[in-house]
Amino acid sequence: MSSYLRSWLPTLSLQRSRPATDEEEESSTTPTNPSFSIQNPDDDNDDTPPAFPAIGSAQRISLAPSTLMPPPSIPAPRHRVPGPPAPSSLSSSSLMPPPSTTRPPTQLSKSKKREKVVLAPGHSPLDWAALKSSGADLRSGVTSLTRIPPSVLRLHNKRDDAWAAFNGKVYNITPYLDFHPGGEELMRVAGRDGTKLFSLTHAWVNVDFMLDACLVGFLVAEPSS
């Protein structure tokens, strides 16, 4: 048995190949745990962690099983939420099973598919934000906000002079056209109220924030007469 172990522990057999000193001979009579053999025998440091909570401490007494609150009882079957039967009698869960992911995702119909637009270099959303905060005139010369009826709005329907109304506010959309991720689609609302088309396309986009520097006025009803 020992020869078998020696073949697996060459260092041990090497050590034993030289004549053992008296001291070694003495210690070899008492079996030692190899993990402690690297410790200095003079070192009497005790690294055993203390009991936690300390024996006899108030915390330990308060944790005594006899003083703990009993666990809540399992509700009777009639109190359980209706749902599929539990997989086993041991399970007390009344949660619905997770939805199946085996069904393939529904495909968008061709007509609803969005066309990706490649924005020209220097026309990213970050570039737009930088332009807005640069102080450049994005209102095409409008210095004060005015009341704009549909007949006036209609006049601004060209690519180089495009206004559109969203939620009662009229914006000069011309400078934003090249930054719009949806590209030329934006021109569909030039010269008119685009609130409906906008909210049908991407109601989550914050137009007030994105075009605040392009505000030119407020949409009002056509004056009668």
When the beta carbons of 25 and 212 are compared against ligand HEM, the nearer one is 212
- What burial letters (b/e) apply to 118-135, b meaning 16+ CB within 10 Å? eeeeebeeeebeebbeee
Q: At a CB cut-off of 8 Å and minimum separation 6, what does 28 contact?
A: 20
Q: By rule CB under 6 A, what count of residues binds ligand HEM?
A: 21
- Tell me the C-alpha distance between 59 and 94, whole Å: 35
For residue 46, count CB atoms less than 10 angstroms from its CB and return exposed for 0-12, middle for 13-18, buried for 19 or more. Answer: exposed
Contact 156, 190 (CB under 8 A): yes
Is residue 207 part of the contact set for ligand HEM (CB under 6 A)? yes
Is residue 194 part of the contact set for ligand HEM (CB under 6 A)? yes
When the beta carbons of 96 and 203 are compared against ligand HEM, the nearer one is 203
The single residue among 162, 211, 216, 219 that binds ligand HEM, judged by CB under 6 A, is 211
What 3-state DSSP class applies to 174?
A: helix
Is residue 14 part of the contact set for ligand HEM (CB under 6 A)? no
Is residue 182 part of the contact set for ligand HEM (CB under 6 A)? yes
How big is the CA angle at 50 (ends 47 and 52), to the nearest 5 degrees?
Answer: 145
Amino acid at 60: R
Is residue 180 part of the contact set for ligand HEM (CB under 6 A)? yes
Question: Please, which of residues 95-124 interact with ligand HEM by CB under 6 A?
Answer: 114, 116-117
CB of 211 to ligand HEM, least distance (A): 6
CB of 220 to ligand HEM, least distance (A): 20
What 3-state DSSP class applies to 48?
A: coil
**Per the structure block, which two tokens stand in for 178?**
């090249």
Is residue 158 part of the contact set for ligand HEM (CB under 6 A)? no
The conformation of residue 24, written as its DSSP 8-state character, comes to: H
With contacts defined by CB under 6 A, name the span among 3-11, 48-56, 137-145, 201-209 that binds ligand HEM: 201-209
- Cis before residue 70, ω within 30 degrees of 0? no
Using CB atoms, what's the residue nearest to ligand HEM? 182
CB of 117 to ligand HEM, least distance (A): 6
Is residue 186 part of the contact set for ligand HEM (CB under 6 A)? yes
Q: Which residues bind ligand HEM (CB under 6 A)?
A: 114, 116-117, 173, 176, 180-182, 185-186, 188-189, 194, 197-198, 201-202, 205, 207, 210-211
